[in-house]
Amino acid sequence: MSQITRDQVPVEETWDLTPIFQSDKAWEDAFIQLEREVEELLTQTIYFSNASDVLEAIRTYDNLLVDLGKVVSYASYKYTEDGTDSRNQTMMGRAQHLQEKANSVKTNYVNGLMDIPTQKLEEYKKEEKGLVNYEKFLDRIEKAREHTLSPDLEDVLTSLGSTLNAPSGLYQTITASDMKFEPVKNRHGKEVPISLFMYMTQVETSPDTILRRNAYDSLSKGLGKYQHGLAKTLSSEIQKNVTLAKLRGYPSALDMHLQYASPTNSTFECDAISSEFFEEILDTFKRELSPHMQRYARLRKKQLGLDYLSFADVKAPLDPDFDPQITYEEAGEIITEAVSILGSEYKDRMSRVFSERWVYRADNVGRRMIAFGGGVHGVHGYSFYPWGGNLFDVLLLGHELGHAIHFTLAHENQRLINNSMPLFFVESPSTLVEHLIVEYLRKTRDDKRLHRWLNMYLMMSYHHNCVTHVLEAELLRRLYKLAERKQPLTTALISETKGNILSEFWGDTVEIDEGAKLTWMRQPHYYMGLYPYTYSVGISASTVIAEKIKQEGVTAGEQWTEVLKLGGSKPGLELFQDAGLDMSSTKVISDAITNVGRIVDELEKSF
């Protein structure tokens, strides 16, 4: 059996993009209009002679971001559905080209604002009360001053945007459109198609050992064919950032990723986390989490009766015969009820997800290989999650919808120009939904086997967020330091470094073969700065928040929803403080890891 094509996907498995644009024709009209506006703005000389000029310019900038977001999102979502369709490729290419032009406009505005002395800008804020609505954006301007280059250099970097983003684009194109894997046989002799996404979300956690290992071999062989090209792609990404960090005057690329507040990035924002704190977070996970995960690996090997635990088995279920099937409709009911403790406003948004088709859930040829959740300002959230049909999918879908509702609430309550999401916070709303689904099922299902499965799911979630992603961040830490010491990042070096990291973490409990060393090829996170570590921070925070909501009920849940409405108007540490959590040290992380140990204790007893 092979994957279906996009034109074979039932409409109910697709998302409804008409709230963004009614049709491709409507998108085309909006594209042409926006292109004209951008071209006109590019001809204008940016000069601010008074406070009113500043206010008018920021409003124009904000409106540009909103219009651009709709045009680019629509094209991106079409391309996400099927990157092999030439029409989608053309639409995406045109949108990216327009975005590059718009980036030049944004750079011009930022350069103009940078030319205004800080003291003068403060005077303008007192004169023009309307500027108070853009306080966060103006604050980002101030933070960026120290590391902003001359206007000419900033213009050059902006014009090179597509070139600088080429490594990420190449990775996405190769993994979504070019990379193919041989189908394999399961324990019943039935042929099963293999894709990168379905392996990571379905096969890797399958109870079928024959399928898991066959699929792992197919995946490793498929990845191996592209290892040298993608190693060069990753090396280019890292070298690019090392150069940019030096250019902007940062001590290291790690510092730049953690601290640079780009005034032109309206999606995500760093939280001025020090590289020392970042490294302390990684060291805490490696030191304190590793013993619990090794203990769990030994339990897995024993319970499954395996002679050895290969890397294909590290996420295998301990109860292979328990694999509840769930329809998408049932999933919607479970997720919506599970989040009701966050208040009626949050529950209403979640119910709309399923009645208004906010999710693309088909697994077709050419679709993007990774799930995501986000949103379009002035519309609502959207999620991409190829649906497999089991209980595991319910929780992973819930994770992505946590992002979608977060963005929806933030967009409804914040201006887009102020709303760049703090990376330190952004993975907590998604992982919290996972915790709430687990708690809801525990309360409403009197089934000891299910309850044990839920513990196993939590271990999988901690594995994914606090092992997989932490070790991704650890690889980035080492590769960036090697690059800054002028060490060429060859295919062999990248793979050997990844293998060493895995061996250090798992000890002698898991066999680390050549396929395991290629796991750096599985994720696009290496092209997103230091994004991987935010998952571990997010799930640590959500573990503690979930316990607070469990103890205090809807009051604490509604408090969390109010925090989500703040979007990017505050730094991540302040958002956590508003939710009653101090994330300025690794104590919460250690508390979450202690919780992992308790779950392993319970599982050892249950078996």
pLDDT digits (tens, 9 = 90+) for 340-392: 999 999 999 999 999 999 999 998 988 887 789 999 999 999 999 999 899 98
Measure Cα distances from 53 to 107, 128, 130, 430 in Å: 17, 10, 12, 40
Cβ contact 504:286 at 8 Å: yes
Nearest to 384 by CA among 406, 367, 409, 407: 367
Sheet holding 372-375, edge to edge: 359-360, 381-384, 372-375
Pairing state between β 381-384 and 359-360: parallel
Average pLDDT value over all residues in the chain:
94
Measured distance CA(354)–CA(564) in Å, rounded: 21
> pLDDT above 90 covers what percent of the chain?
81
Per-residue pLDDT band at 445 (split at 50, 70, 90) = very high
Predicted local distance difference test score (pLDDT) of residue 334: 98
Per-residue pLDDT band at 338 (split at 50, 70, 90) = very high
Measure Cα distances from 155 to 105, 113, 266, 566 in Å: 10, 14, 18, 32
Higher pLDDT, 154 or 478: 478
One domain, residues 87 and 173: no
Predicted local distance difference test score (pLDDT) of residue 186: 94
One domain, residues 135 and 172: no
* Distance from the first to the final alpha carbon of the chain: 36
DSSP secondary-structure letter at 456? H
> Does the pLDDT at position 182 exceed 80?
yes
Beta-ladder partners of 389: none
The token pair at 45 is 């000389």
One domain, residues 406 and 493: yes
One domain, residues 328 and 420: yes
Rg (CA), the chain: 24
Domain with residue 134: its CATH number is 1.20.140.70
Cβ contact 427:534 at 8 Å: yes
Cβ contact 455:602 at 8 Å: yes
For the chain, how many residues are written? 607
Predicted local distance difference test score (pLDDT) of residue 177: 79
Question: Average pLDDT in the 309-324 region?
Answer: 90
Measured distance CA(463)–CA(465) in Å, rounded: 6
Predicted local distance difference test score (pLDDT) of residue 148: 85
> Does the pLDDT at position 151 exceed 60?
yes
Measured distance CA(432)–CA(402) in Å, rounded: 8
Domain with residue 399: its CATH number is 1.10.1370.20
Beta-ladder partners of 421: 268
Measured distance CA(375)–CA(364) in Å, rounded: 22
pTM to 2 decimal places: 0.88
One domain, residues 503 and 412: yes
The token pair at 267 is 């999606």
Predicted local distance difference test score (pLDDT) of residue 358: 98
Beta-ladder partners of 422: 269
Measured distance CA(326)–CA(321) in Å, rounded: 15
Highest mean pLDDT among 41-45, 369-373, 528-532, 599-603: 599-603
- Domain boundaries, position 302: 165-179+226-356+390-607
Question: Average pLDDT in the 137-160 region?
Answer: 87
Measured distance CA(141)–CA(118) in Å, rounded: 10
Cβ contact 491:227 at 8 Å: yes
* Residue 78 belongs to a domain: yes
Of 323-327, 472-476, 498-502, the range with the lowest mean pLDDT is: 323-327
User: pLDDT tens across 495-545, in order?
Assistant: 999 999 999 999 999 999 999 999 999 988 899 999 999 999 999 999 999
The token pair at 226 is 């592209």
Beta-ladder partners of 360: 384
> Does the pLDDT at position 2 exceed 70?
no
DSSP 3-state of 569: coil
One domain, residues 169 and 127: no
Q: Report the domain count for the chain.
A: 2
Instruction: For 134-196, list the strands marked E by DSSP.
Output: 184-185, 191-192
User: Phi then psi for 184, rounded to 5 degrees?
Assistant: -130, 170
> CA 214: distance to chain centroid?
29
User: Phi then psi for 390, rounded to 5 degrees?
Assistant: -130, 180
One domain, residues 257 and 401: yes
One domain, residues 170 and 75: no
Predicted local distance difference test score (pLDDT) of residue 320: 80
* Residue 119 belongs to a domain: yes
One domain, residues 447 and 561: yes
One domain, residues 116 and 173: no
Predicted local distance difference test score (pLDDT) of residue 397: 97
Per-residue pLDDT band at 198 (split at 50, 70, 90) = confident
Highest mean pLDDT among 11-25, 143-157, 186-200, 382-396: 11-25
